[in-house]
Structure 1
Amino acid sequence: MSSIHASAVLVGDRAILIRGRSGTGKSRLAFDLILAGRSGQIGKTVLIGDDRVEVAATPQGLVVSPAEPLAGLIEIRGLGVRRCDFAAQAVVGLVVDLSAPDAERLPQPAALRTTIAGIELPRLPIAAGFDALPVVVAALTTAEVSA
């Protein structure tokens, strides 16, 4: 298991791993997704970890869990660090990269995949300054069009 700078939420039965440099909005997106789950826009959503998480390659896929000292804690801008319900672990089903240098309006297929710990995963590259929530909700609630 290795520790990475990221946040993660559990949506339904799969985790969304949110990566990005400090200040790119990882905590904000995690909390926005929790709120979207509470409002019914997406499935039930619960925090896994904020700011730092543990990942491990397993036969089931890439498993993410909270970093022990931060379990159940999330930073909410304007309120500070808050305690909330959290999931102990989940298999990652989607990676969101905030402020991704390869983000495009119509991304190339290669940009929509990433490999972590030897496991290939779906990826959403989000441009700097772009609101990630609508893109993530769309990825969770719409079907891909085949050419």
Structure 2
Amino acid sequence: MSQIHANCVRIGAHAVLLRGPSGSGKSGLSLRLIDAGGFLVSDDRTDLVARDGRLIASAPDQIAGLCEVRGIGVVRGLPQKTEGDVRVLIDLVTDPNTVERMPEPDFEEICGIAIPRWTLCASDLAIEAKIGVALALATGGMTLEP
């Protein structure tokens, strides 16, 4: 098992990890994804374990069900799931100019499992849709053209 500084949101049958430094928009983006029908798995720190060839995320016991809403405080009661089958890792940046227009496919190995990784800016107005595309690519619902 490992623990990373990231949020995890379950969207349908799969989950996405949102990783970035403090203030990069992890919790704000998580709220937007939850508002669009997703479920909070973890906020700020995520426990990860390999199970049956899949990367499974959950929240550490002491913060399970909690989410920091910047400007409001720590809240409980958001729609949540106890775990998620992680299929995508999104590294969040604050400067949209650092996001590559046409990046080469990239993966990161976590707990021995290779997960597709993309870098996006949390303030991108289309980020929820882009995360949907990333999940579809990772689960075989879409393909990238060479």
Give TM class, smaller chain.
0.7 to 0.9
State the Cα deviation string for residues 76-123 of structure 1 (Å, max 9, x = none): 1221111123211121111111129973011012x3x22112101122
What residue is the counterpart of 1:106 in the other structure? 102
1:69 and 2:62 are equivalent in the alignment: yes
What residue is the counterpart of 1:144 in the other structure? 143
Q: Identity of paired residues, percent?
A: 38
Mapped contact 2:8–2:18 kept (Cα < 8 A): yes
Mapped contact 1:99–1:129 kept (Cα < 8 A): no
Stretches of structure 1 that go unaligned for 5 or more consecutive residues are 38-44
Farther off after superposition, 80-89 or 66-75: 80-89
What residue is the counterpart of 2:24 in the other structure? 24
Task: Quote the offset at 1:143 in angstroms.
Answer: 2.8
Pair 31,17 (structure 1): closer, same or farther in 2 beyond 3 Å: same
Partners of 2:145 and 2:23 in 1: CA distance: 35
Pair 82,128 (structure 1): closer, same or farther in 2 beyond 3 Å: closer
TM-score (norm 2): 0.82
Stretches of structure 2 that go unaligned for 5 or more consecutive residues are none
What residue is the counterpart of 2:91 in the other structure? 97
Task: Quote the offset at 1:140 in angstroms.
Answer: 4.2
SS of residue matched to 2:101: coil
What residue is the counterpart of 1:40 in the other structure? none
State the Cα deviation string for residues 35-76 of structure 1 (Å, max 9, x = none): 122xxxxxxx11000001110112231110011111111111
Partners of 1:61 and 1:33 in 2: CA distance: 22
1:133 maps to which of 109, 114, 128: 128
What residue is the counterpart of 1:41 in the other structure? none
Task: Quote the offset at 1:30 in angstroms.
Answer: 0.9
Task: Quote the offset at 1:146 in angstroms.
Answer: 2.7
